[in-house]
A and B are shown apart, each in its own frame.
Chain A
Amino acid sequence: MATQTQAQFKQSLKKYYSLYAGGFIAFVILLAIAEQMGLPNRWIGYCFLFATVGLYAMIGIMSRTADVAEYYVAGRRVPAFFNGMATGADWMSAASFIGMAGGLYIQGYDGLAFIMGWTGGYVLVALFLAPYLRKFGQFTIPDFLGERYGGHTARSIGVFAAVLCSFTYVVAQIYGVGLITSRFTGLEFGVGVFVGLGGILVCSFLGGMRAVTWTQVAQYIILIIAYLLPVVWLSVQITHFPIPQLSYGYALEKVTEREKVIKVDPKEIEVRNILKAKATDAEAKLKDPAAAYAADKAAAEKKLADLKAANAAPDQVAAAEKSLTAFPKDVDAAKAQWTKEKGLAARAAPPRPHAEAFVGKDDAARNTARLNFLALVFCLMVGTAALPHILMRYYTTPSVEEARQSVGWSLFFIFLLYFTAPSLAVLVKFDVYTHLVGSSFADLPRWVASWAAVDPTLVSIKDLNGDGIVQLAEIVLGQDIIVLATPEIAGLPYVVSGLVAAGGLAAALSTADGLLLTIANALSHDVYYKMIDPHASTKRRLTIAKMLLLVVAAIAATVASQKPADILFLVSAAFSFAAAAFFPALVLGIFWKRASSWGAVLGMAAGLGITFYYMAMTQPWLRGLFGVTSPVADNMWFGINPISAGVFGVPLGFAVIIIVSLLTPAPDKKTQELIEHVRYPHLRGDIDTRAT
């Protein structure tokens, strides 16, 4: 391979991946035929799981390497186009693939913060980071901090932040892998986690970045086919046009009409009142749980006794007995149940208009919603431009020129999925509002029953007012169901559901791989090689890197198998942390020669610190952890939600770096030269900072 020129290399990559994509489509068609001939669904699930993971394993094994530059940065010869695909897969996680459209379904316009935030951040990557980091050309993001700001302090904070952000994120990915595996194969969740872990490790263990890059390209191809196929099909059925991103306006208009009808429909109001009554009732009971529990239990017992005494019909007695055995065992169990019922109040509201921005009961509430929307967009964008596993990918292109193009391709490939998700949400809403609502409970669509059986949190429909007709307020859809059920709603065979699962798995595996590698590399390269033993041999460095990869993977899988409760919050928090820790120090490091070591160290610490402080004061789980008891409302600044704490951390980080830098001596001549070096793709007689 070493004798190949870059152009030949690119040619053969194109050939191999075209063959691969063709082969994969042929595989799906074969399975579709097999399904028609009677292959059971569970086997289709197995086929997808083992075939795709097997494929990734093969690529992983073929890409094994003992070369440091190959291991850390894939030999720096990944063409812009392919690096774009790899970044796309690296970026799009299980949450993007499976959860995003569902989030948009539930939140309407306000969910678009994720769509804009997770794409607009690439503009910052392109303008401020990718080309300069590529010119710098070492192995990790802490590398840049260490080199630019000197000493081990800046590097250490970088390592800490990189591990913090990536670890919470990777736990969520492994959790996603476990969930998908168990849903589609019927394996237990814990087993699913470790099967998935195997899938992750075969991609990265032997070949590091090189293996991860080429499997990520393969994973991107699968995930994008799996995402687009059902949506396009659904779009053709509903709007008679195969480009849903342009044509779902029709469906959106219909949805808006239906929202107005549903809002005033007497049957809907009846169901909403039932829900509201239940919620109010539960709230009252929660005020004095012990008394309410005793009273309820006595009433249930009395009812049974009365029925028996009156010689009531046996089915009535049986029902009363059943409700008594189902009665919560103690006050705590009853409290949990009432707290849940109190939450029904949320469902008692009429549907929120899908396209309406910043919903609130009055102008003040709407303004806070708007502020939070924009703050979240800001944190997600700056966080995107600061997450080490993404920035690292731009070290792998052959040149600065290709690094610039590569950001464009990255966003293009991400964009294909992200600009489809809002249309998918509306198309599914159209189907639910026009077909499911108003249909009879006797003939619910098949997908409802089949997914409720897999996992009742995904979908549940109960006839609350007993009229035999489905009302919107009677339907509860989990976030993930929107993508999972699309193939069935569109009337596609089960094989497409299997394909969607394979796509979700590819999204989770690829992201997990990128993250694991980031953590292991920060520890092996930055901590071990740069700080502990700079004279370590190549062989020893790689051995350490691979060992750490295994250890980190095992820890992450163990945490994931505990099903940590606040995983979603942690993932979103990772963006605020990355934004506050890295973005100001990286950008000023490139664009402001005066930025000094002390400035960067204190700026990073201050940014991280205030972000963490704000979250600890306002986020329920962290408040519990740190024993914060003062009212949340007193601790809020401008009503900003804890998830967007980075909106304070980033400006503070910039301010501290600037002020402290001006108070401390300017960086030495060597650092000044380094900055000039990264600013120009090529200077005659220039220094060379590329790591070997």
Chain B
Amino acid sequence: MQLTERHKEYWRRNMKMTAILLAIWFVVTYVVGWYARELNELVIFGFPFGFYMGAQGSLIIYVIMIFYYAIRMNKLDKEYDVAEGEG
């Protein structure tokens, strides 16, 4: 089957969103992890910031990111008429 321009645009938008989310994932995990010692100097409510990001902060961001991706993609499916029907 031949893909239309709109199909290709759908895929490009998917790729763009994937890339942005992957970049956020990378920063939250590796950049924040790399500077954990420095970030620990900052203490909020008794929590050294670098420690809290590793223990709770990054996890919260991961959960939000995945739900955000699901909601946006499911909308995109409908917008580009590639959504599945019932069943």
A: residues with CB less than 8 A from B are 6, 109, 112, 115-116, 119-120, 122-124, 126-128, 131, 245-246, 249-250, 252-253, 355-358, 366, 370, 373-374, 377-378, 381, 398-401, 404-405, 407-408, 411-412, 415, 418-419, 422-423, 673, 676, 679-683, 685-687
B-chain residues with CB within 8 Å of residue A401 when the two chains form the complex:
70, 74, 77, 83-84
In the bound assembly, the distance between CA atoms of A120 and B28 in angstroms comes to 10
Q: Tell me if B66 and A407 are in contact (CB < 8 A).
A: yes
Taking each of B22, B34, B56, which has the highest tally of chain A beta carbons within 10 Å of its own beta carbon?
A: B56
Contact of B29 among A131, A357, A381, A673 (CB under 8 A): A381
Q: Is the CB of B70 within 8 A of A377?
A: no
Say how far B49's CB is from chain A's closest CB, in angstroms: 10
Tell me if A123 and B84 are in contact (CB < 8 A): no
Among candidates B25, B34, B62, residue contacting A370 with C-beta atoms closer than 8 Å: B34
Q: In the complex where A398-B87, A415-B59, A422-B55 touch, is A377 in contact with B33 (Cβ < 8 A)?
A: yes
In the complex formed, the residue of B with least CB distance to A406 is: B70
Q: Are A374 and B70 in contact (CB under 8 A)?
A: no
Contacts of B59 in A (CB 8 A): 115-116, 119-120, 415, 418-419
A249 and B47 in contact, given A119-B59, A422-B55 (Cβ under 8 angstroms): yes
By a CB distance below 8 angstroms, the chain A residues around B22 are 123, 127
Minimum Cβ distance to chain B for residue A113 (Å):
8
A404 touches B70 (CB 8 A): yes
- Please tell me if B86 contacts chain A, counting CB pairs below 8 Å: yes
- Report the nearest B residue to A252, measured CB to CB: B46
* CA of A681 to CA of B11, assembled, Å: 11
- Whether B37 pairs with A357 at a CB distance below 8 angstroms is yes
Listed A/B pairs (25) with beta-carbon separation below 8 Å: A112-B55, A115-B54, A115-B59, A119-B58, A120-B58, A122-B62, A122-B66, A126-B65, A245-B56, A253-B46, A355-B40, A357-B50, A357-B54, A358-B37, A374-B33, A400-B84, A408-B70, A411-B62, A415-B63, A419-B55, A419-B56, A680-B10, A681-B82, A682-B84, A683-B1
Contact A404 B69 (CB under 8 A): yes
Q: 1/0 contact trace for B55-83 toward A, CB 8 Å?
A: 11011101101110110011001000011
Contacts of B83 in A (CB 8 A): 401, 681-682
Given contacts A109-B51, A252-B48, 13 further A-B contacts (CB under 8 A): A115-B59, A120-B59, A123-B21, A355-B50, A370-B36, A401-B77, A404-B73, A405-B74, A412-B63, A415-B60, A419-B56, A681-B82, A682-B84
Chain B residues lying within 8 Å of A411, measured Cβ to Cβ, are 62-63, 66
Q: Tell me if B33 and A408 are in contact (CB < 8 A).
A: no
Residues of B within 8 A of A680 (CB): 7, 10-11, 82
A422 touches B84 (CB 8 A): no
Q: Quick check: B66 and A374 within 8 Å, CB to CB?
A: no
Asked whether, in the complex, the Cβ of B58 is within 8 Å of the Cβ of A408, the reply is no
Shortest CB–CB separation between residue B72 and chain A, in angstroms? 10
- Cβ–Cβ < 8 Å partners of B85 in chain A: 682
Chain B residues positioned under 8 Å from A419 (CB to CB): 55-56, 59-60
Q: How far is the CA of A173 from the CA of B67 in the complex (A)?
A: 30
> Chain B's nearest CB lies how many Å from the CB of A588?
14
A676-B33 in contact (CB<8A): no
The 9 closest A-B pairs by CB, nearest first: A249-B46, A422-B55, A357-B36, A404-B70, A112-B54, A355-B51, A408-B67, A253-B46, A408-B66
CB distance from A415 to the nearest CB of B (A): 5
- Chain B residues positioned under 8 Å from A687 (CB to CB): 1
* A124 nearest CB across to chain B (Å): 8
CA distance A680 to B21 in the complex (A): 19
Least CB distance, B58 to chain A, in whole angstroms: 6
Known interface pairs A373-B33, A377-B29, A411-B66. Does A676 touch B55 (Cβ–Cβ under 8 Å)?
no
CA–CA, A124 and B65, complex, Å: 11
Report yes or no: B60 in contact with A116, Cβ–Cβ below 8 A.
Answer: no
Distance between Cα atoms of A412 and B7 in the complex (Å):
32
Interchain nearest-CB distance for A684 vs B (Å): 8
Those of B1-58 within 8 Å (CB) of chain A: 1, 3, 7, 10-11, 14, 18, 21-22, 25, 28-30, 33-34, 36-37, 40, 44-48, 50-52, 54-56, 58
Residues of B within 8 A of A370 (CB): 33-34, 36-37
Complex CA gap A401/B71 in Å reads 9
A127 touches B40 (CB 8 A): no
Interface centre among B45, B52, B59 (most CB of A within 10 A): B59
Query: Do A123 and B46 touch across chains, with their CB atoms under 8 A apart?
Result: no
The answer to whether B54 and A116 have CB atoms under 8 Å apart is yes
**What chain A residues lie within 8 Å of B21 (beta carbons)?**
123, 127
The answer to whether A374 and B82 have CB atoms under 8 Å apart is no
User: Which chain A residue has the least Cβ–Cβ distance from B19?
Assistant: A127
User: Min CB distance, A585 to chain B, in Å?
Assistant: 18
B14 cross-chain contacts in A, Cβ below 8 A:
679
Give the distance to chain B from A675, nearest Cβ to Cβ, in Å.
11
Q: When chains A and B are docked, how far (Å) is the Cα of A126 from the Cα of B87?
A: 21
Q: Which residue of A lies closest to B74 (CB)?
A: A401
